[in-house]
Amino acid sequence: MQSQLPIYPEQASNFAPHVDALMLFITGVCFLFALGITIAIIIFFFKYHRKTPNAVGIPTHEDSRLEAVWMIVPLILAMAMFGWGAVIYVDYRHTPKDTLDIYVIAKQWMWKAQQPNGLKEFNELHVPMGRNVRLVLASEDVIHDFFVPAFRVKMDVVPGHYNTMWFRPTKAGRYHFFCSQYCGTNHALMAGWVTVMEPSDYAAWLSGSSGGEGNSIAAGEKLFAEKACITCHLANGTGRGPSLNGVYGAQVLLADGSTVTADEAYVRESILQPNAKIVARYAPSMPTFQGQLTEEQIIALTAYIKSLQSQPVPAKGFGIAPPTGNK
Amino acid sequence: MSEHIVSPKLYVVILFALMLGTFLTVAAAVRDFGPWNIVIALAIATGKATLVILYFMHARYSPKRTQLVIVCSIFWLAILLALTATDYMTRSQRESQIAPPSIFYRA
Amino acid sequence: MSNTPPTPDELPHKHYLNATYGSGIRSWLLTTDHKRIALLYLASVTVFFFIGGVFATMIRIHLLTPRGALVTPETYNKLFTMHGVAMIFFFLIPSIPAVFGNFLIPLMIGAKDLAFPKINLLSWYIYLIGGCFVLYSFGTGGLDTGWTFYTPLSSVYSNSAVTPAVIGIFINGFSSILTGLNFIVTIHTMRAPGMTWFRLPLFVWAHYATSLVMILGTPVVAITLLLAGLERMFHLGFFNPALGGDPILFQHLFWFYSHPAVYIMILPSMGVVSEIIPTFARKPIFGYSFIAGSSIAIAVIGFLVWAHHMFVTGESAYAALTFSFLSYLVAIPSAVKVFNWTSTLYKGSISWDPPMIYALGFIGLFVIGGLTGLFLACLGLDIHIHDTYFVVAHFHYIMVGGAVMGYVGGLHFWWPKITGRLYPRSLSRFAAIILFIGFNLTFFPQFILGYLGMPRRYHTYPPEFQVLNVLSTAGASILALGYLLPMSYLIWSMRYGKVAGPNPWPATGLEWKTDSPPLTENFEVTPEVTWEPYDFKSRPDLGLETGAPLPAPAHGDD
Amino acid sequence: MHRTGELYGQFETLEQQKESATLGMWIFLVTEILFFGGIFLTYAVNRHLYFTAFGVGGNMLDLRLGTINTVVLIASSFTMAMSVWSAQTSQKKWLPIFLVLTLVLGFVFLGIKYVEYKQKFDHHLIPGHAFDLTYRMNHPAPGDDPKELASERKEIEEALATEDPGNPQGGLVALNSHAQLYFSLYFGMTGLHALHMVVGAGLLIWVIKGSLKGRFSASYNTPIEVVGLYWHFIDIVWIYLFALLYLINRHLG
């Protein structure tokens, strides 16, 4: 485990140890330089402090050999840094042949990924451990950037181009990924989780029931837009309805002051009988969808709302109850 | 600083050279030289520009400092064009060969 | 305390501040005196500094908690964009050149004024007009594109007031161009007899290099922003991929100027430090020609490195390798400067006057800022730290730790020349130390944040980053104090400070051979230069080590 | 600063003043070169990416008018050079004549440019929603040369085949979009150039006034020299614009 105040993120890909070693090297060289300069300045500062008000310093003469030394030595060290960095960079850009290809699409402000078997994910990415994974990145609107600190990888997602990046996960776990190219209002919410799984788990996940979940999330997202839910339940909390980010599984504060757990039953009830439990601070303005949705569609919508669980909750405009004192 | 005065005769000669250049460049443009068309067009344009700079703008008779200014401006323009070209001319073709799956097309 | 030789009791009878050409305010607004124009700039860049500072304060308060403590995402994005635009285009770029460059270059080379005084005034008005456009944009919907204006976000998707801001920055560019042009011509043609190129103060060399960047880089960003503005106004497609344009091209064009623009900010500051250090170590600067040459080298090589801002855009690997290599080259002249400054201290007679404290603070912060540049120029490492708080920390060390520290140091060094008065010595040393500590506390944690992976421009962040963010905000409050202190005692000193006399430190430059404040014409008679730069030994007129009393004290109030 | 005759107070001698003014103008021209450099680079990259569409767009320009304009501008550069000569040799009668000739040629250039812009407007070649590369082909005006229209049609059809083979509809969308880029750049570049011409015309009017008062002579001709540098620079920009915008792909037509 990492300590409370780590100074480097977890190492979870083939690149991470190399990048950290390079970091250590450059930090070491720079630290020695900074230390040398600082010590020299401090010594001179006190040793040559003006003795009498009229005293002048003793001129020291320009020395071309000295100047040459302090140009050439830093140059050599700089070239070492350049060379080492270049070697790692070439590795970054040289994708191996046998990759598992996953397609990633960015749009304001979410990530969609498609696994090789067509399974889709939102703000989530599942990858098998030990396999070379190649991400093909495309953007539907502005420039985004896919960044996984634990993997030490990052690549801009540029509209009109396909950029690719690759990595080999080396440690199972869940890691943050971020959008790190500023892309507008909810840039900071455009983040999610990479899950690194054992290859067998990954295979099971791809083919198993959770695969169906992935597909129903996609269907649910489509419905969310088609049925115009999206026009009120804005993710950033500025809509007429509360943002649904992070709501699933949380306590919801209702208008009458009571709270309710946002489980599947609650979501279902809220879709079919919206006025039964009104979220605090919101008007009962949602129409009922009774008779307009099939069961399958309700399940899909629920799965989609579930998938928003990991989304950051906006500062304002959500229904989640504030934490109570004893927790 | 004694000023060099260019004679009108020389100006007339330059004028004719520039006119000639204009007709040459048009004449060359309507013939097919393959990739050389652009090279010829730019070479003639550069020739014409050089004449204007050297004689009409008196660069040939100007102090070294002015000539240095001109060289610098060309040098920096070259930096802008050439270093950007290092990117565009060496872009890998691999990315464009990726066959996008259906998800890449919006419904 | 130790040295209180007699100082003049009053300011000189006639100087540029009380010279009247017509009545009050008009004599300022229509002045062509480079010294008065410098003060006009001083007032206007201070306004922008405080506007940018207020935004910065709000940003730091907002980031106290992971979910954001203060504002909505839209507002947060506007805050950091407007902070960047105000600080970079309207404070840092004009700060030292337009204030000290304007004031000092003619004085330092022994000229009566710049070569084109009217154009000088014109550039101030252009700056004001550009500034008004930008303030209009801030006031009517703000600006949320990031100061980099990346397309297609800025040209298509942003709903904020991008157009007036782009127009404002476009206009402001011409102010910068005209200033640079004026400096170059002045340094070439207006030097006093005997003021050869290698007798020029290093401040002038630094400004010559800065002016090169201004005239060669600014037009490119002007046309780029013009095209982006046209794209937004008329739905054209220069940089919009939906219409066939290439957003990466915008970045190439933008950084062709905006990377060298960093040198517009830091070179003048290096010039200031190169003046302060020999003055307060009282010995010729070590390696004069290397420091002068390194200024020019930085200006030239600085133009060859821009695409290191684009290592993760998917630019060609060959281009990335080229630009990484060239980026390392630009580190060498910067290192040369630091080594020479340090060597100048050796066997000096070092006073602990406030400008010296600022200058040494500058070296400390610039060393950290410069060395962390090596991390970012490194291809293998930049992939990870690009667009994270590591970058934010790095460029603040250069621009705030470097450029602003030099600016405030210069203010303390030349304040007696500008106003004719001294300021409280102990208080100003205290302020310098506060500034140094506050700065490090604010920005050092951000290096760690960046390596941990916190991306920049985030209004909300995962909770594990909170401790470092709180530290940074705490530092920012100390830093704010470090800026407000000098502001208040410098204003106080304008009225109540002791009279400085022509050469209080004493220093060797020509600007110190005239009254403080100087005459409108700068010198009674055109001076003739017969001495080498920073040569204290052959200057009996300074009254040092010859037994004669000092013409004026360094400072006498403690 | 006081002004003594033609000498401004910050200078010691007229020579120093002239040296400064000339150097100042040259440095200004450096910034202009880089200013145009940015848009030339945008042109170069897009032409590299969309070679066919730029060829089609370039051939829609009127080569005849473009050539005439080049000749006009070169002639005006010549008369400007002659103005400088008149000033240097104190030919106070000739100076205003050459300056006015330069100005007139400048206006002729702008007039022809206006005619060209008007044509492009009529042919729906202004970037925007109404942009249609095929407009002229489908809506021929009575005076149009049928041979020219036929070659234009042939060229567009060939271009469509390369843009998106097998999908003429998609190809047309792409071609139109990329040709719009060409025309955006065409209007941007020639528009900026024309703007410089207007500024140059203003400067010319200023020195014409001075020349009529007989202010310029062998001893003081800095303004003429400086305005001349600016005017020649505009000429140089046009020489390149002509080659890059009008002559891209003429041999295919």
- How high is the pLDDT of residue A326? 40
CB < 8 Å from A in window 294-323 of C: 312-314, 317, 320-321
Tokens of residue D130, six digits? 């109404």
CA-CA-CA-CA torsion sign (A296, A298, A303, A304): positive
C551 domain residue, yes or no? no
- How high is the pLDDT of residue A232? 81
**B93–chain A Cβ distance below 8 A for any pair:** no
**What stretch of H or E contains D232?**
helix D222-241
Q: How far apart are CA D21 and CA D19, in angstroms?
A: 6
CB contact under 8 A, B95 and A114: no
pTM surpassing 0.80?
yes
Q: How far apart are CA D23 and CA D15, in angstroms?
A: 12
**B8–chain D Cβ distance below 8 A for any pair:** yes
Q: How far apart are CA A297 and CA D10, in angstroms?
A: 82
Per-residue pLDDT of A55-106, as tens digits, reads 889 888 888 899 999 999 999 999 999 999 999 999 999 889 889 989 898 9
What residue of B is the nearest CA neighbor of D231? B57
Same domain, B41 and B72: no
Per-residue pLDDT of C15-60, as tens digits, reads 888 876 656 788 889 999 999 999 999 999 999 999 999 999 999 9
Q: Does the structure show a pLDDT above 60 at C266?
A: yes
Same domain, A121 and A260: no
Per-residue pLDDT of D20-34, as tens digits, reads 999 999 999 999 999
Same domain, B48 and B75: no
User: Domain total for chain C?
Assistant: 1
- How high is the pLDDT of residue C139? 93
C14 φ/ψ sector (left φ>0, alpha ψ -120 to 50, else beta) = beta
Q: Does the structure show a pLDDT above 70 at C175?
A: yes
C19 domain residue, yes or no? no
CATH number at residue C424: 1.20.210.10
A327 domain residue, yes or no? no
A235 domain residue, yes or no? yes
CB < 8 Å from A in window 172-231 of C: none
- Which residues of chain B are within 8 Å of residue C319 when distances are taken between CB atoms? 83, 86-87, 90
CB contact under 8 A, B83 and C322: yes
Q: How far apart are CA A180 and CA C158, in angstroms?
A: 18
Same domain, A91 and A185: yes
Same domain, B32 and B67: no
Same domain, A83 and A227: no
B105 domain residue, yes or no? no
Q: How far apart are CA C100 and CA C210, in angstroms?
A: 13
Same domain, B43 and B1: yes
C396 domain residue, yes or no? yes
Question: Cα–Cα distances in Å, from D136 out to C38, C252, D55, D119, D153?
Answer: 58, 37, 17, 10, 9
Lowest-pLDDT range of A206-210, A254-258, B14-18, D232-236: A206-210
CATH number at residue A266: 1.10.760.10
Tell me the sheet residues that pair with A102. Answer: A135
A107 domain residue, yes or no? yes
Interface present between C and A (3 or more CB pairs within 8 Å) = yes
Same domain, A289 and A257: yes
Tokens of residue C149, six digits? 């204006």
- How high is the pLDDT of residue A303? 78
Q: How far apart are CA D42 and CA C536, in angstroms?
A: 54
Interface present between C and B (3 or more CB pairs within 8 Å) = yes
C81-96 burial, b for 16+ CB within 10 Å, e for fewer? bbbbbbbbbbbbbbbb
Sheet of A153-157, strand order: A124-128, A192-197, A173-179, A144-148, A153-157
Indicate the residue type of D157: E
**A140–chain B Cβ distance below 8 A for any pair:** yes
Q: How far is CA D111 from the centre of its chain?
A: 12
Same domain, B6 and B21: yes
Q: How far apart are CA D94 and CA D91, in angstroms?
A: 6
Q: Does the structure show a pLDDT above 70 at A327?
A: no
Tokens of residue D184, six digits? 């955006």
Report how many Cβ contacts below 8 Å link chain A to chain C: 292
Q: Does the structure show a pLDDT above 90 at A223?
A: no
Report how many Cβ contacts below 8 Å link chain B to chain C: 39
Cα torsion through D138, D144, D146, D148, rounded to 10: -90
Mean pLDDT of C405-427: 95
Those residues whose C-beta lies under 8 Å from the C-beta of residue C328, and which sit 6 or more positions away, are: A78, A79, A81, A82, C374, C377
Same domain, B52 and B9: yes
What residue of D is the nearest CA neighbor of C187? D20
Which residue of A44, A184, A314 is in closest CB contact with C158? A184
Query: Containing domain of residue C152, as a range?
Result: 24-542
Query: Which one, of A98, C306, A232, C144, lies nearest residue D38 by Cα?
Result: C306
For chain D, give the percent of residues with pLDDT over 90: 58
Per-residue pLDDT of D46-83, as tens digits, reads 998 888 889 889 888 999 999 999 999 999 999 999 99
B107 domain residue, yes or no? no
**B73–chain D Cβ distance below 8 A for any pair:** yes
Q: How far apart are CA C469 and CA C389, in angstroms?
A: 10
A272 domain residue, yes or no? yes
Which among C16, C216, C238 is the top mutation candidate for probing chain D, defined by the most D β-carbons within 10 Å of its own β-carbon? C238
Mean pLDDT of B71-98: 82
Which among B5, B12, B15, B56 is the top mutation candidate for probing chain D, defined by the most D β-carbons within 10 Å of its own β-carbon? B56
Per-residue pLDDT of D89-126, as tens digits, reads 999 899 999 999 999 999 999 999 999 999 999 888 98
B35 domain residue, yes or no? yes
**B36–chain D Cβ distance below 8 A for any pair:** no
Same domain, A217 and A198: no
A132 domain residue, yes or no? yes
Same domain, B44 and B70: no
Q: How far apart are CA C172 and CA C499, in angstroms?
A: 37
Angle formed by the axes of helices C354-377 and C247-281, nearest 10°: 150
Q: What is the mean pLDDT of chain A?
A: 85
Same domain, B34 and B71: no
Same domain, B31 and B1: yes
Query: Which one, of D232, D239, D231, D238, lies nearest residue D200 by Cα?
Result: D231
What residue of B is the nearest CA neighbor of A120? B103
A101 domain residue, yes or no? yes
SS3 A99: coil
Q: What is the DSSP letter of D243?
A: I
For chain C, give the percent of residues with pLDDT over 70: 96
Delineate the domains of chain D, giving CATH numbers in brackets.
25-252 (1.20.120.80)
Those residues whose C-beta lies under 8 Å from the C-beta of residue C72, and which sit 6 or more positions away, are: A238, A315, A316
- Which residues of chain B are within 8 Å of residue A105 when distances are taken between CB atoms? 103-104
Query: Containing domain of residue A293, as a range?
Result: 213-310
SS3 A139: strand
Same domain, B53 and B73: no
Query: Which one, of C112, C114, C110, C118, lies nearest residue C101 by Cα?
Result: C114
Query: Which one, of D84, D65, D72, D68, lies nearest residue D25 by Cα?
Result: D84
> Touching D: which chains, 3+ CB pairs < 8 A?
B, C
- How high is the pLDDT of residue D141? 79
C18 domain residue, yes or no? no
B101 domain residue, yes or no? no
Q: What is the DSSP letter of C538?
A: T
Those residues whose C-beta lies under 8 Å from the C-beta of residue D60, and which sit 6 or more positions away, are: D120, D123, D125, D133, D136, D152
- How high is the pLDDT of residue C207? 97
Beta strand A133-139 pairing with A163-167: antiparallel
**B65–chain D Cβ distance below 8 A for any pair:** yes
Same domain, A184 and A256: no
In chain A, what's the furthest Cα-to-Cα distance?
97
Q: Does the structure show a pLDDT above 70 at C417?
A: yes
C548 domain residue, yes or no? no
Tell me the sheet residues that pair with C499. Answer: C421
B98 domain residue, yes or no? no
Same domain, B53 and B68: no
Q: Does the structure show a pLDDT above 70 at C512?
A: yes
A148 domain residue, yes or no? yes
- How high is the pLDDT of residue B103? 45
Question: Which residue did the predictor score with more confidence, A193 or A267?
Answer: A193
A246 φ/ψ sector (left φ>0, alpha ψ -120 to 50, else beta) = left
CATH number at residue A72: 2.60.40.420
Domain boundary among A150, A171, A206: A206
User: Domain total for chain B?
Assistant: 2
Same domain, B39 and B69: no
Query: Containing domain of residue B41, as a range?
Result: 1-57
> Touching A: which chains, 3+ CB pairs < 8 A?
B, C
CB contact under 8 A, B86 and C318: yes
Alpha helix segments (H runs only) across B1-107: 8-29, 36-51, 64-88
Question: Which residue did the predictor score with more confidence, B95 or C329?
Answer: C329
User: Domain total for chain A?
Assistant: 2
